[in-house]
């Protein structure tokens, strides 16, 4: 991507609306980058001085720092409102492609990276740990570890790693993750999948030792039911152990059909949503865009969401998107972030264009009536 120095200043820019998409510039931290196609945006600025404008209309996004921050539960820490997921790093995306996405996210002000010890063992030629190694190499090359909030996980099986949350598994996998990431401390360490065969006291005692040793700052849960979170909190309180500060769960705007299964993954249900609201606990959403099914014609809506309720909510989502001049993906993100407490999406992108569109969702503010329509849409 080439940059234009004349566009580094905010002066010489004016508001413009245009239907041209073939050549575009988007602004991240006062730098304009040429891209093949601009996503649909509600507002644009036009650069009057850039010499590239002589070749035709050029658009740039209005934002200077795109990614805002929100509180992570009651930890006292603010994290980026959109976390950068890494399931494609080192597998679908090469290291060079992953670096480009990480650079773009970081230049936009994003500092929250989400990975796991098993990413992406399901991809051909991979056994797990590839994403952590890519992130570790990027942190080393960019020398920006102090600016990054780094999350990883343990608990799922991959390669020669067994599924579970026994003490030796948690502490052993933490050491491996620290080495792959090239860091001394993990900011947020998740129990990736509930393990009902291991006593919660054993699991939480292992996490507590890691925190006291300075190897982990905070711990979170993923793929847990609400009643298990409540049990874990009771165990932490009873034994003065570290407690889960947040929950990462499968979640999107559409609601799964009753009884729908996602295998080992757990979708957030009403019980969990009510629990996090009552406890003012941050929920992070993985697979928030259903792998592109909201906007891509080549991606079928997952069977678990194919019912009349899904159809009604899809129509409502698209109507609000049309009103805002935004994409359905962007409205999904805006809707999540305007919940109480805010639901923090995990980005799952593999191209610069996808990341640009996703980041633009932070520019959208839903009106009260739009938020109400989205919340209340139902069959």
Whether 17 is covered by a domain: the verdict is yes
pLDDT digits (tens, 9 = 90+) for 181-207: 999 999 999 999 999 999 999 999 999
Q: Work out the mean pLDDT of the chain and round it to a whole number.
A: 85
Q: Give pLDDT, residue 135.
A: 98
Q: Are residues 152 and 264 in the same domain?
A: yes
Q: Give pLDDT, residue 12.
A: 29
Buried b (16+ CB within 10 A) or exposed e, 167-192: bebbbebbeebbebbebebbbbbbbb
Whether 155 is covered by a domain: the verdict is yes
pLDDT band at 159 (very low <50, low <70, confident <90, very high): confident
Whether 105 is covered by a domain: the verdict is yes
Check whether 21 has a pLDDT greater than 60: no
**Comparing C-alpha atoms, which of 68, 30, 114, 18 is closest to residue 365?**
68
Q: Are residues 42 and 187 in the same domain?
A: no
User: Poorest-confidence range of 46-50, 118-122, 237-241, 286-290?
Assistant: 46-50
Q: Are 284 and 85 in contact (CB under 8 A)?
A: no
Higher pLDDT among residues 170 and 6, named by residue: 170
Q: Give pLDDT, residue 341.
A: 92
Is the dihedral angle over the CA atoms 367, 369, 374, 376 positive or is it negative? positive
Check whether 41 has a pLDDT greater than 60: no
Q: Rounded to an integer, what distance in angstroms lies between the CA atom of residue 306 and that of residue 228?
A: 29
Q: Are residues 277 and 138 in the same domain?
A: yes
Q: Are residues 21 and 154 in the same domain?
A: no
Q: Are residues 85 and 172 in the same domain?
A: yes
Per DSSP, 264 falls in state T
pLDDT digits (tens, 9 = 90+) for 328-356: 999 999 999 999 999 999 999 999 999 99
Percent helix, strand, coil in the chain, to 5, is 40, 20, 40
H/E element holding 358? helix 352-360
Q: Are residues 35 and 97 in the same domain?
A: no
- pLDDT > 90 in the chain, percent: 76
Whether 320 is covered by a domain: the verdict is no
Whether 300 is covered by a domain: the verdict is no
Buried b (16+ CB within 10 A) or exposed e, 116-154: bbbbbbebeebebbbbbbbbbbbbeeeeeeeebbbbbbb
Q: Are residues 105 and 222 in the same domain?
A: yes
Mean pLDDT of 164-168: 96
Q: Residue 86: give its domain's CATH number.
A: 3.20.20.100
pTM, 2 dp: 0.83
Q: Are residues 97 and 20 in the same domain?
A: no
Domains held by the chain: number: 2
Q: Are residues 272 and 176 in the same domain?
A: yes
pLDDT digits (tens, 9 = 90+) for 62-95: 344 479 999 999 999 999 999 999 999 988 899 9
**Comparing C-alpha atoms, which of 301, 303, 320, 305 is closest to residue 376?**
320
Check whether 324 has a pLDDT greater than 70: yes
Domain ranges, residue 33: 5-60
Check whether 18 has a pLDDT greater than 70: no
Q: Give pLDDT, residue 128.
A: 75
Q: Give pLDDT, residue 129.
A: 81
Q: Of 60, 79, 94, which residue sits at a domain end?
A: 60
Q: Are residues 84 and 167 in the same domain?
A: yes
Whether 226 is covered by a domain: the verdict is yes
Q: Are residues 134 and 263 in the same domain?
A: yes
Q: Rounded to an integer, what distance in angstroms lies between the CA atom of residue 99 and that of residue 133?
A: 12
Check whether 50 has a pLDDT greater than 70: no
Q: Are residues 56 and 74 in the same domain?
A: no
Mean pLDDT of 300-305: 96
User: Poorest-confidence range of 56-60, 166-170, 314-318, 372-376?
Assistant: 56-60
Q: Give pLDDT, residue 30.
A: 32
Check whether 244 has a pLDDT greater than 60: yes
Whether 332 is covered by a domain: the verdict is no
Check whether 174 has a pLDDT greater than 80: yes
H/E element holding 220? strand 216-222
């Amino acid at each position: 991507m080439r940059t234009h120095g004349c566009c580094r200043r905010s002066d010489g820019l004016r508001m413009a609306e245009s239907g041209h998409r073939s050549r575009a510039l988007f602004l991240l931290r006062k730098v304009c980058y040429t891209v093949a196609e601009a996503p649909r945006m509600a507002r644009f600025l036009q650069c009057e001085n850039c010499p590239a404008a002589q070749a035709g209309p050029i658009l740039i996004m209005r934002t200077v720092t795109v990614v805002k921050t929100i509180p992570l539960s009651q930890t006292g820490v603010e994290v980026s409102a959109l976390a950068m997921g890494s399931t494609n790093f080192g597998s679908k995306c090469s290291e060079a492609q992953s670096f480009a996405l990480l650079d773009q996210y970081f230049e936009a002000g994003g500092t929250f990276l989400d990975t796991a010890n098993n990413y992406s063992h399901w991809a051909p030629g991979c056994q797990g740990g590839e994403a952590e190694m890519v992130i570790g190499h990027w942190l080393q090359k960019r020398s920006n570890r102090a600016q990054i909030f780094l999350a990883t996980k343990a608990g799922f099986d991959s390669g020669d790693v067994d599924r579970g949350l026994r003490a030796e598994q948690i502490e052993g996998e933490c050491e491996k993750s620290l080495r792959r990431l090239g860091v001394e401390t993990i900011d947020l360490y998740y129990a990736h999948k509930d393990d009902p065969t291991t006593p919660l006291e054993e699991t939480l005692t292992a996490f507590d030792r890691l925190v006291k040793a300075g190897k982990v700052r905070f711990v979170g849960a993923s793929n847990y039911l609400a009643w298990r979170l409540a049990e874990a909190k009771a165990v932490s309180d009873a034994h003065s152990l570290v407690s889960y500060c947040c929950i990462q769960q499968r979640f999107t705007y559409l609601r799964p059909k009753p009884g729908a299964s996602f295998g080992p993954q757990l979708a957030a249900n009403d019980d969990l949503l009510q629990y996090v609201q009552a406890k003012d606990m941050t929920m992070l959403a993985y697979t928030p865009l259903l792998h592109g099914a909201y906007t891509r014609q080549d991606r079928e809506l997952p069977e678990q969401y194919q019912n009349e309720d899904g159809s009604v909510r899809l129509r409502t989502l698209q109507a609000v998107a049309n009103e805002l001049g935004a994409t359905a993906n962007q409205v999904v993100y805006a809707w999540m972030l305007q919940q109480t407490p805010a639901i923090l999406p995990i980005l799952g992108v593999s191209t610069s264009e996808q990341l640009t569109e996703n980041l633009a969702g932070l520019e959208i503010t839903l009106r009260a009536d739009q938020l109400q329509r989205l919340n209340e849409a139902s069959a």
